[in-house]
Amino acid sequence: MSDWGPVFIAVVLFILLTPGLLIQIPGKSRFVEFGNFQTSGVSILVHSIIYFTLICIFLLAIGVHIFDLKEMADWGPVLIGVVLFILLQPGLLFSLPGNGKQVEFGSMKTNGKAIAVHTLIFFALYAVLILAVHVHIYTG
What are the Cα distances from residue 99, in Å, to 4, 12, 21, 40, 132? 33, 24, 15, 16, 34
Domain map (residue ranges) of the chain: 5-139
User: Per-residue pLDDT tens for 28-87?
Assistant: 899 999 999 999 999 999 999 999 999 999 888 887 765 545 555 678 888 899 999 999
User: Per-residue pLDDT tens for 3-25?
Assistant: 778 888 999 999 999 999 999 99
